[in-house]
Amino acid sequence: MGESLKGAVDMHMLMEPIFAGWIGYILADLGSGVYHWGIDNYGDGSTPFFGSQIEAFQGHHKWPWTITRRQFSNNLHALARAITFSVLPINLLCHDPVVQSFVGVFAGCIMFSQQFHAWAHGTKSRLPPAVVALQEAGVLVSRSQHSAHHRPPYNNNYCIVSGLWNEFLDKNKVFEAMEMVLYFKLGVRPRSWSEPESEWMEEIDMAS
């Protein structure tokens, strides 16, 4: 983002990088939803590369409040590594402020999506006022919107950056259509087609 800002000032262009960053923000929400849908519905702990994340997301459905108790670095370190190795080559090879703005905002939103997700599980009284304001303004995914994802049948509201795409994707049954395509092409059933297993049923946090 620093490189983009510097390049934009040097080239006397501001609107293009701003617009590119906005597009990055919009698409990051969509990307978070597609990824979340895939992790929630396909594979298991033995799946190459994604097994640990699949297990973690399934565990999250059973104990959703635990995400609010992890340290900031604990929530973000895995995504931070992936983002670093993805963005670094682009940053070294491309010096276009428009591209850098898009990549910076998109990658930043993806990296911080787990923290946005954690805030969506927080109680209003315990969240920073600025976070609550951003949630209520629709800039970050809201607590009420994400809570719907944790109620049966667990097949909606997958996007966890701003939640902007959730209504469109759910209303138009986009993920259901993708599930049908994968089922008829590959014979793979998503988890959302089955009754929730005990591992997915939320346990009550007795301590709170």
With pLDDT > 90 as the criterion, what percentage of the chain qualifies?
Answer: 67
For residues 56-76, give the mean pLDDT: 87
Class of residue 65 by CB neighbours under 10 A (exposed 0-12, middle 13-18, buried 19+):
middle
Question: Are residues 202 and 150 in contact, defined by beta-carbon separation less than 8 angstroms?
Answer: yes
CB within 8 Å of 172: residues ≥ 6 apart: none
Domain limits at 79? 1-44+56-188
Is 194 part of any domain? no
Question: Are residues 121 and 68 in contact, defined by beta-carbon separation less than 8 angstroms?
Answer: yes
Tally of domains in the chain = 1
The length of the chain in residues reads 208
Per-residue pLDDT, 207: 46
pLDDT tens profile 135-159: 999 999 999 999 999 988 889 999 9
Is 142 part of any domain? yes
Residue 165: which of 34, 30, 24 has the closest Cα?
30
Is 198 part of any domain? no
Is 199 part of any domain? no
Is 201 part of any domain? no
Helix (H) / strand (E) containing 139 = none
Is 134 part of any domain? yes
Kindly report the number of other CB atoms within 10 A of residue 109's CB atom: 23
Is 4 part of any domain? yes
- The SS3 assignment for 16 reads helix
Per-residue pLDDT, 201: 55
Is 205 part of any domain? no
